[in-house]
Structure 1
Amino acid sequence: MTTHPEKPARPGRTDGRTSEFTLFFKVKPGHGKLIRDIFQQNTFGQLSREVTQRIGTLHDARWVLFDEDTRLLFATSYDGDWDAYIDDFAHRIPDVFDAIMEHTEDYPGIHDPGIKDRIAAHQVTACSYFRAIPDATVRDLQKARRVYKAYEQLLNAFE
């Protein structure tokens, strides 16, 4: 009989098939401007859309510098399993995540063997979390958009 070690409990609330992910980090002294510079690059908006596509389960993301640029908030909503979500960051966007997070204290890098525990140590479970359509995954929403677009094209063909 094979036994599988249980995954550690991870923070965060779930509503339907979507979960919230809220992290707080201390910014290295003097690195707030470097983080702001990343977000103010002309190409960051396009990169954000590409990252969303690469992850595939990411609904939204917010990065917020606060307390006079000494702390950083990273908050997202995502579909599926917490560990798989972190694996996606490591496999699909390690360069993007590391470029921002290297400016926070004690960040070991996304490929560090203890990264999941390190991230969980910075995660805070929301007091409340809800979604307008809790059972709609990113894939469901993308499919609905494709169906709607096809429906609109069909209607336009008969005008």
Structure 2
Amino acid sequence: MDLRPKAVSIPKSTEDLEQGKYGPIFPKTPANYGFTIIAKVKPGRADAIRSYGERLAKAVDADPEILAPLKLHYLRWVLFDNDTRFMYQGIFDTDFDKYTEDAIVLFGKAGINTAFENLEGFPMDWKTNHEAFVRFVREHQCNSFLEYGEYPYFSSDEIKKALRIKSDFSEMLEQMQ
């Protein structure tokens, strides 16, 4: 097992990529799978996006496993250009197709809508019109050209398992003293 950090340059063209249900399947990188979208915020909706972020944080506090089906490493939300544009960046362990389907099911089942509803052009029927959801994401997707992983290709489950083992081992050593 090679534990050295890795970086991968990603070609601009997607023509040679395997096609999935929702378009090109980008390769797994040292950072795993993910995507970034940038979109315009509906006028006056930046505070609604921030409020949604607060509600989602409270939902995770109440149930730390609520987003577990998405196999996330991290999510980043950014409002910029004087709150007129929004960036969403997610890194996760599944390909785009699975992530998209899992997200739609998860948010529908949990009764949590999406902050994306505050973005210009986002389809309000996204829960039933998966193709429109995917089309919005693909139209606003900004592909990376380089991805780096300090702990390359490890899944979030593998990382959590290693941290549990480390914690258990530390606890055992403390009890031995």
TM range (shorter): 0.7 to 0.9
Tell me the C-alpha RMSD between the 2 structures: 2.3
Unmatched runs of 5 consecutive residues or more in structure 2: 1-18
The 3-state SS of whatever aligns with 1:84 is helix
Out of 74, 82, 101, which is 2:88 matched to?
Answer: 74
Call closer, same or farther: CA 1:48–1:66 in 2, change over 3 Å: farther
**Which ranges of 4 or more aligned residues in structure 1 deviate by more than 2 Å?**
36-39, 43-56, 93-96
Residue matched to 1:60 = 74
Superposed CA deviations along residues 80-112 of structure 1, whole A, max 9, x for unmatched, are 21111111211123444x341111112112432
| C-alpha contact 1:19 1:79 (8 A) present in aligned 2 | yes
- What TM-score do you get using the length of structure 1 for normalisation? 0.81
Unmatched runs of 5 consecutive residues or more in structure 1: 1-5
Call closer, same or farther: CA 1:53–1:157 in 2, change over 3 Å: farther
Cα distance between partner residues in 2 of 1:59 and 1:87: 18
Instruction: Read off the aligned partner of 1:102 and give its amino acid letter.
Output: E
- Identity, in percent, stands at 23
CA-CA distance at 1:58 after TM superposition:
0.6
Call closer, same or farther: CA 1:23–1:110 in 2, change over 3 Å: farther
Aligned pair count reads 150
Out of 57, 61, 69, which is 1:45 matched to?
Answer: 57
| C-alpha contact 1:20 1:77 (8 A) present in aligned 2 | yes
Matched, 1:28 2:42: yes
Instruction: Read off the aligned partner of 2:99 and give its amino acid letter.
Output: Y
